[in-house]
Structure 1
């Protein structure tokens, strides 16, 4: 068994859309390559039908964050889980892992953890859909990068991807957020950097293969790299939704943004968007 422990608790909110709030579980699943348990928060609709499977959204945190950021910072997420009947999984991505396997540190193998350990465990223990039409991935900042990195690496697994203020090309920031500690510095290892940035990896996708939505505030330091990705997708004729709104790199922006992402993914899961 890859699970170490499960800690379950319920949150209730009197002002939810549906009159309820989601059931919230904190779980620990062993990351086999890192040989350690890693926590995740999993939110489910409060009322679930027997023998029914639900779509699942993997929602990633940002740099310097952790697994419970989303549920603590955006309590409305619990209401949206109930309203849209989506299971949401918020994994821990370690201290600035960027959600790929480090070439320099065996303790940072978070791509393998999510894809080889967490995702199969979730599908074994929770009533989630087990096909790409029922799986999506998104995140903020570093988590937005992680979402695109994993979605483009596993298009047979994920049918939809999103990013909020995503670090979708981190090459303009070679000394920030421990990236060089994970894959070496840019001057000595340019191939490792170029292979991982979303602006290059989207070339792997075929037009219409994946539902894509990302956004960024005009006052965000990642605004230009988001605009760059938008232009690249236009050149590749890959359909996507790119939204620009006033705002910076902060929770006030992400709280607002997540509501739009939940609508987008609900529409995807319902077959209303490609």
Structure 2
């Protein structure tokens, strides 16, 4: 009986110290730039509540038609991250998932700068969450990834700010290479205003290969890159062209064409690989 009592007390003690991750999918930050409150989701790893340490961070961007809950609801980020950490293929990290589908859809400023989401992301969201949570704020401990529209966001964010990210993982990325007339037609369909000069500037900033031609290659090479796209994905060609351009520029990167299409089945399968890849950049060699 005494042994049974001791065993029961041990179980109670272990359960009281059980570590579980947490996800909050309706957090808000006020944006002066966008003149509104913006939502985001956050994943806090299992040890967050029972430790005083700081953590690396992954900014995980959703695709078109989703919001900050996309990776939580459909991407099953909590289950997948928990398993990756439990299996020790990835190190514990905080994951921030911002909403880019309120007001206007997308991760970038408009050509006329009347909507400045990209400025909001870097000037308001990143400082806010890295102050609110115990996040390591050095480049080495910051990564960005995303799918589809968010894959394009992760590509352009890391290309434009290689000093901020240790790694970038565009999945099924929207990295189209617009010609002027195609871009103009798309902007007109979305009722976006612009001058001819603004159109020309926007074309240079939003075409993936043009962006690469004008990039600081030494800085870009200091980012660890992981590209992945399904072999049945309609964005396969654009991703392949970026891969070829990276090879031509001698930019080290991982490029994976896997069996799959443009869907959550593919992205859920890839998320553990993303967590493992970014974790490798967080570690000391």
TM-score range, shorter chain: 0.7 to 0.9
Q: Mapping of 1:52-201 within 5 angstroms?
A: 52-80=53-81, 83=85, 84-94=91-101, 97-104=105-112, 106=114, 108-171=115-178, 174=183, 181-182=191-192, 189-201=199-211
TM-score of the aligned structures, taking structure 2 as reference length: 0.80
Question: Where does residue 23 of structure 1 map in the other structure?
Answer: 22
Question: Where does residue 255 of structure 2 map in the other structure?
Answer: 242
**1:103 Cα offset (Å):** 2.5
Question: Where does residue 9 of structure 1 map in the other structure?
Answer: none
| Structure 1 segments of 4+ aligned residues over 4 angstroms from their partners | 172-186
Question: Where does residue 16 of structure 1 map in the other structure?
Answer: none
1: CA distance between counterparts of 2:188 and 2:78?
Answer: 29
Question: Where does residue 12 of structure 2 map in the other structure?
Answer: none
**C-alpha RMSD over aligned residues:** 2.7
1: CA distance between counterparts of 2:152 and 2:56?
Answer: 22
Is there any run of 5+ residues in structure 2 with no aligned partner, and where?
1-17, 86-90
Contact 1:183/1:189, CA 8 A, preserved across alignment: no
1: CA distance between counterparts of 2:97 and 2:282?
Answer: 19
**1:29 Cα offset (Å):** 0.5
1: CA distance between counterparts of 2:207 and 2:20?
Answer: 36
2: CA distance between counterparts of 1:163 and 1:178?
Answer: 27
2: CA distance between counterparts of 1:59 and 1:76?
Answer: 10
Question: Where does residue 40 of structure 2 map in the other structure?
Answer: 40
**1:218 Cα offset (Å):** 1.1
Alignment CA distance shift 1:22-1:145 (3 Å): same
1: CA distance between counterparts of 2:19 and 2:188?
Answer: 40
Contact 1:165/1:223, CA 8 A, preserved across alignment: yes
TM-score of the aligned structures, taking structure 1 as reference length: 0.83
2:23 is paired with a residue whose SS is strand
Larger deviation: 206-215 or 89-98? 89-98
Contact 1:102/1:109, CA 8 A, preserved across alignment: yes
2: CA distance between counterparts of 1:98 and 1:199?
Answer: 19
Is there any run of 5+ residues in structure 1 with no aligned partner, and where?
1-18
**1:153 Cα offset (Å):** 1.4
Structure with bigger RCO (C-alpha 8 Å, 6+ apart): 2
How many residues get paired? 253
Contact 1:24/1:42, CA 8 A, preserved across alignment: yes
